A and B are shown apart, each in its own frame.
Chain A
Amino acid sequence: MSGAASRTMHEDGKPPRQQIFIVDDDDAQRDSLVWLLESHGYAVRPFSSAKDFLAFWDGDSAGCLLLDVRMPGMSGLELFEELTRRHSTLPVILITGHGDVAMAVATLKKGAEDFIEKPFSAEEMLKVVRNCLERESEEREYRRTRADTAHRLAQLTAREHEVLELIIAGKLNKQIADVLNISIKTVEVHRARVMEKMGVSTMASLIRRVVSADL
């Protein structure tokens, strides 16, 4: 569990290192893919079965999953569905064989990130992975900020909340004072508290932060 902490949280404020997980039963394909991706500087973690991956999976690793749809035992598709059931946010790239495209499209509709058809070129594979990791990183950052904002909002008192809402509604200090029937001075104190608790220094960033979190 100590590993989970280093993977997930950001005491130092840095995002966790992204990893590419590969689940493929074909030894040659898996091993060569690890080599290809590692050669391009990615951290890769291979699994030879869906079961092995599920045993490892803690629901919170950064990166993406390269998943071969055709496997004996639990198929790639079943693993994908299981991850969805577990509310995984790890983006999944399906590796499909020739003629599996219709199935891949159906899976995309269910929320898979992308698919790549075998045989693929290294270029295609690298492009799909790069795009996917970029998006994952953005999504993760967004989720992180959103969670942080929610956390900070929860710290506000009821009165501070009221003040914040009125600020966002575009009211001036005087108007806020009138609405809440308090002095301007008090509004200013609340406002300073809100800014501090929300971790922002300007009005603009306060508003952007709260609005973009869409809570």
Chain B
Amino acid sequence: MQNTGIGNVSGAIPTINGGAVQNVAVMANSANEPLDAVLDGLEAAVYVADAHNGEILFANRAFQALHGFDAVGQILREWVVPLPERGDYRVDPRGVEAPDAPCELFDGELLQPRTGHWYHVKEQAVRWVDGRIVRLGIATDITSRKKTAETTRRQEERIAHTARLITMGEMASTLAHELNQPLSAIANYCNGCIARMQAGASMEELLPAMRKAAAQAERAGKVIARIRAFVKKSEPRRRATPVAAILEEALALIEIDARRRGIRLSVEIAPGLPDVHADQIMIEQVLLNLARNGLDAMRDTPEDERMLTVRARMGGKRFVEIAVLDRGHGIDEEDLEQLFKPFFTTRDEGMGMGLPICRSIIEFHDGCLTARPEPEGGIIFIFTLPIEETTCEWSGEQNNA
């Protein structure tokens, strides 16, 4: 019974959407009120259900197509409406009393798992004609809008991933050097041990060198793990991420580069920063990009002045602000505007795609990325990331009410 009802859903909606006007005319005959005809003509599914027990009191045609044509009188089933049992609500509608109504119960996007359709659902607690508290809901199919957004997002993710591969390509010789160090250290420790073993050395004599060799192997492994994590092709996933974790991973890679170029790295993290709502790898990518730009800009800076500063602190109440400052050659005001345009570059080997990609990554995170010249020379790049706010997480995302 339930299966049949849900199975009809995907087929039923297009019919209604396509023939909306005729259907309104046909249905008007059977409807007692002109208002019913209007509601039945809507593409959006409209329903009214008892807030306490979920009994459906009213269902327009679109809602019936989803829930079954005998919906009225039944109990709301799990599929396209928020369910208190699932913890979808911040305020459980079952507990809403008359003095509270009307009030908003739910405003968010839900996935119909069987059909894969997305609905934007808005629900309010109102007082029904007979005086009881009901859930008045409207569910709009937003699947096609979602799909377009999804395609755009996928493309951006592909571009971002390609950019990460390019960055790693540019860093390849530095990274190879970084791997060579522990590998040659391991070889030295082992060869020394072989010579001593052949000379009849005791275990105790060899132990410290073997321990050091093992530690070096781990050091090499960590570098490789970082590179792998960085170039891994993965769906961007925004989640609660500590700012320090992002900085630590990105700076581990930056530090390699900085050390080789004789540039000091200064990191300032304000104490007690909240987590940000971000995809860690993507933000690492932005940081790595900005930092490497900064390192490049300091090629002609006297060695004792070369310093790259990375600073994280609150930027307003709901954003964390991360700044990357160099002491390089700086930039003219007019070029500042050009910085974020594709193919603008001051480097010989640069493609000029780094900063535009950084900006789109930050904008994807609902933050913003800006640059301005530093009064003491160099450029400061600042980007913001929203802090993590407690949201309910399941198959849907609820908007901030």
Q: Which of B187, B196, B213, B219 has the most CB of A within 10 A?
A: B187
Cβ contact within 8 Å between A26 and B192: no
Interface segment among A34-42, A144-152, A164-172: the answer is: A34-42
B185 at the A interface (CB under 8 A): yes
A8 at the B interface (CB under 8 A): no
Cβ contact within 8 Å between B262 and A33: no
Closest Cβ of chain A to B137, distance in Å, is 64
Cβ contact within 8 Å between A32 and B189: yes
Flag B234-278 by CB within 8 Å of A: 1 or 0 each. Answer: 000000000000000000000000011010000000000000000
**Residue in contact with B209 in the complex, picked from A35, A37, A70, A99, CB distance below 8 Å:** A35
- Chain A residue nearest to B199 in the complex (CB): A39
B177 at the A interface (CB under 8 A): yes
Cβ contact within 8 Å between B184 and A32: yes
A13 at the B interface (CB under 8 A): no
Cβ contact within 8 Å between A118 and B180: yes
Cβ contact within 8 Å between A36 and B181: no
Are A35 and B184 CB-contacts (below 8 A) given A28-B216, A72-B259?
no
Once the chains are docked, how many angstroms separate the CA of A35 from the CA of B186?
11
Closest Cβ of chain B to A195, distance in Å, is 47
B15 at the A interface (CB under 8 A): no
Once the chains are docked, how many angstroms separate the CA of A73 from the CA of B186?
26
Count of A residues near B, CB < 8 Å? 23
Kindly list chain A residues whose C-beta atoms are within 8 Å of the C-beta of B219: 28
**CB neighbors of B among A66-89 (8 A):** 70, 72-73
Interface segment among A53-61, A119-127, A179-187, A203-211: the answer is: A119-127
Chain B interface: which size bin?
20 to 34
**Residue in contact with B187 in the complex, picked from A26, A38, A73, A121, CB distance below 8 Å:** A121
Give the interface of A toward B (CB within 8 A).
26, 28-29, 31-33, 35-40, 70, 72-73, 97-99, 118-122
Kindly list chain B residues whose C-beta atoms are within 8 Å of the C-beta of A26: 181
Cβ contact within 8 Å between A35 and B188: yes
Known contacts A35-B188, A119-B180; 6 additional CB pairs below 8 A are A36-B191, A36-B192, A39-B195, A40-B195, A99-B173, A118-B184
Are A73 and B262 CB-contacts (below 8 A) given A28-B181, A120-B184?
yes
Closest Cβ of chain B to A70, distance in Å, is 7
Are A122 and B180 CB-contacts (below 8 A) given A28-B216, A39-B193?
no
Cβ contact within 8 Å between B177 and A38: no
Kindly list chain B residues whose C-beta atoms are within 8 Å of the C-beta of A120: 184
**Residue in contact with B188 in the complex, picked from A36, A70, A72, A97, CB distance below 8 Å:** A36
